[in-house]
Amino acid sequence: MKRLFTPIITALLLLATGCSNAPTMSQEEADAYRRADKLMKKMTLREKLGQLEQFITRKGVVTGPEGVKRDIESAIRNGEVGSFLSVFNREDSHRLQKIAIEESRLGIPLIIGCDIIHGCRIIFPENLAMSCSWNIEAIEHSARIAAEESAASGIHWTFSPMCDISTDPRWSRVSEGAGEDPYLGAKIAAAMVRGYQGDDLSAPNTIAACVKHFAAYGAAQAGRDYHTVDMSELMFRDRYLPPYIAALEAGAVTVMSSFNDFMGVPASGNRWLLHTLLREELGFTGFVVSDWNAVHEMIIHGVAADGKDAAELAMKAHLNMDMVGGDYIAYGEELVKEGRISEKLIDNLCREVLAVKYRLGLFEDPYRYGSQNQNEAYYRPENMEFARKVAGESMVLLKNDGVLPLAKDTKIALIGPFADAPKDQLGAWRGKGEPERSITFRQALEERFGKQNVLYTKACECGKGVDRVVEGGIREAVKLAKQADVVLLSIGLSGWHSGESRSRAELTVPAPQQELLDALKKTGKKIVVLLSTGRAMDIRNEVEKADAVLLTWHAGTMAGPAVADIVSGDTNPSGHLTISFPYSVGQVPVHYNAKTTGRPAKDQYKASGYSSSYVDIQNAPLFPFGYGLSYTEFEYSDLQVLTPEVKLGGTVKVSVKVKNVGKRAGDDVAQLYIRDVVAETTRPVRELKSFERLTLAAGEERVVEFEVPTSDLAYCHSDMSFKADAGDFIVWAGADSNATLQGEFKIVE
């Protein structure tokens, strides 16, 4: 496995980590550890344990059992708390900080963390949606804007990026990640860390990133949130670990342990994950926080008898901070007194927390976050326009039988539960987003086409515990449709249907909305489905009955203008899927990079007889990874392998010609896929290894040259080594994972 740092042995680093294979550090990081060591000489054991505790105020967002009730202010004064989460405003942040600085014995500042997942005030598309832009620079900039708005709110630390690869759209938190591919997921994870942390972590407009959920949370069995994860170490290293590594290499200073067990041990007490892999092998030197109450929940997992056992297990695993559970402060002193935990271990855990606080500049100025003028930081016009742009780039045109784009004088029947739903369009984990600042589909379409040309009715309701046709809703919808030239039908799943603890066994559009679609279909009017969702869905019914389907996702504050831009033709759709849309939920998990088998699927190798195929449905998804349409057409040709033979350590170069053969300018995502023909362990039928987002004028042609270092062709071998091999490879290029242009190359020793 690729290491982040070169291990060296020095007295300083031995002191800092308590590990014989201590990693190299930057000078700034080493200085933070030295300062932490100096401070710790003044600290009592209880004060050290206090730095390992994270509390929540009564105003905070609760995402699990609330645990032990605490007198928060007394705990701060006594040095029994090191962090708070879900403190969303500057006033509360500074009030709590003031108590810590002025009323506790040593004046150690608090670190304030929040779930800033896809925006703070300005909410960007949910992460899965944003990944469909394939625009790495834009994703990084969205994190930069979120950091600036968060810092102005008194927030120091975000629990993001989520690096969990997931191939299961039933999973409730699939909306928080970058989809099914580890290569693209790694690019996005690193970009988000750079956006949050910038070049100077102590700057007052940057915040600390947190790599989560470590590890393999996205592979929860049956798509049920918090459920068991059971996979081989080989699969984990090969498919799930790369995005975490990329985020760490980008400099993320904290990590969050996941709720699930891994190889039979819950992640928060899993020493192999948190110490052997994360620290010794990957060289991580920051601190690890548990997910909500995850330390105490090891009792329910059945690996700890009580809170004291759970605290011991987590500490020995090298988990630094207990989120809201309270077991560290409750039992830490007893564990040391009984000899079950050494005070040296507590020192190591505390030191790593303090070092991050020093690196954030909290000791120099504990109020630096929130010192900015909030009116200047929030909702900047240029940032709102950027949110509009990235929302448009995230939307994916799945079908278009010529109905889109609409002429400027088109009379529109705008129908459905999400056409004027300012809260739902923000999606899950909407930070400090304010629904009243959302610009809805209805508002934007009325502005773009004229209020007199947009006839609106809700017709259905969909949300928490609500899924119904409103009284007279279908009758009113049909009436408006008959008066219009085209129907824009905004259906799908609400913002409530995404996010933690929102797993779904069914992936179809709710029945009342399908009933609405059936009634509108009978009018004979052209129908454009605007699909609001935070996950891939089975939309065979909608694709069959609609004339066009635009996947709008939950696209955030500026979702409305982005939709108006696309349906009017002011913007040419350019999004490409980063998660396969299943033909049926029975296929799930379905993903493009499945492994080949001894008896492969008929549609892969034209095998006959006994094949790995369904007898009642197709093997292929409804829409594959990488898929996306445009109002123009792109033609791929002339694939050339420029390096038919390359040495290990070299770079594979492949070119392909891309031409816009349509009548208008547009963006496309050129994608390169590779297959290792003969490997030491079984390999996927193809894997994404490069891509380029490009803009072409009508008739313009460009040669795209991909460069793939042979190190990017490394994979996990049976001995758990991670390396590339010599041998033969197949390469494909095109606009999605079904690309047909093909070439070959060879890697030699």
Q: What is the DSSP string of 663-676?
A: SS-EEEEEEEEEEE
Q: Identify the pLDDT of residue 22.
A: 45
Lowest mean pLDDT, pick from 22-36, 133-147, 624-638: 22-36
List, for residues 387-443, the tens digit of each pLDDT value.
999 999 999 999 999 999 999 999 999 999 999 999 999 999 999 999 999 999 999
> How far, in whole angstroms, is CA 567 from its chain's centroid?
27
Its sign, for the CA torsion 125, 128, 134, 137, is: positive
424 among known catalytic residues: no
Average pLDDT, the chain: 94
pLDDT mean over 316-339:
97
Residue 318 predicted with pLDDT over 70: yes
Is 6 or 241 the better-scoring residue by pLDDT? 241
pLDDT mean over 163-169:
98
CATH topology of domain 632-748: Immunoglobulin-like (2.60.40)
Domain boundaries of the chain, sorted by first residue = 11-359, 391-568, 632-748
Residue 6 predicted with pLDDT over 50: no
Q: Identify the pLDDT of residue 600.
A: 84
Q: 220 falls in which pLDDT band (50, 70, 90)?
A: very high
Q: Which residues contact 441 (CB under 8 A, 6 or more apart)?
A: 414, 418, 419, 420, 425, 488, 490, 530, 552, 559, 560, 563, 564
Q: Which long-range contacts (CB under 8 A, 24 or more apart) does 233-240 make?
A: 233/263, 233/720, 234/681, 234/716, 234/718, 234/720, 236/262, 237/1, 237/716, 237/720, 237/722, 238/182, 238/715, 238/716, 239/165, 239/182, 239/593, 240/164, 240/165, 240/182, 240/215, 240/216
Q: Identify the pLDDT of residue 632.
A: 98
Q: Which CATH superfamily is domain 11-359 in?
A: Glycoside hydrolase, family 3, N-terminal domain (3.20.20.300)
Residue 399, both tokens: 């079908």
Please name the residue that has the structure tokens 């009730």.
Answer: 69
CATH topology of domain 391-568: Rossmann fold (3.40.50)
pLDDT mean over 89-114:
96
Residue 158 predicted with pLDDT over 70: yes
Percent of the chain with pLDDT over 70: 94
Residue type, 463: G
Residue 58 predicted with pLDDT over 60: yes
Percent of the chain with pLDDT over 90: 90
CA distances from 208 to 291, 338, 364, 380 (A): 16, 36, 16, 22
3-state secondary structure 458-481: CCEEEECCEEEECCCHHHHHHHHH
Q: What is the pTM of this model?
A: 0.95
Query: What's the angle, vertex CA 285, arms to CA 281 and CA 290, rounded to 5?
Result: 95
**628 contacts 397 by C-beta, under 8 angstroms:** yes
**CA gap 381, 394 in Å, rounded:** 20
Q: Identify the pLDDT of residue 367.
A: 94
CA distances from 457 to 495, 662, 670 (A): 19, 36, 40
Residue 10 predicted with pLDDT over 80: no
Paired with 727 in beta bridges are 747
**CA gap 217, 222 in Å, rounded:** 12
Q: Which residues contact 737 (CB under 8 A, 6 or more apart)?
A: 592, 593, 624, 625, 626, 627, 671, 673, 686, 688
Lowest mean pLDDT, pick from 137-146, 363-372, 536-545, 678-687: 363-372
* Ramachandran area for residue 465 (φ above 0: left; ψ -120 to 50: alpha; else beta): left
Exactly one of 92, 238, 291, 327 is catalytic; which is it?
291
Q: Identify the pLDDT of residue 603.
A: 64
Q: Going by DSSP bridges, is the β-strand pair 727-734/722-723 parallel, antiparallel, or unpaired?
A: unpaired
Closest by Cα among 92, 85, 83, 143 to 117: 143
pLDDT mean over 593-613:
79
List, for residues 249-304, the tens digit of each pLDDT value.
999 999 999 999 999 999 999 999 999 999 999 999 999 999 999 999 999 999 99
Paired with 539 in beta bridges are none
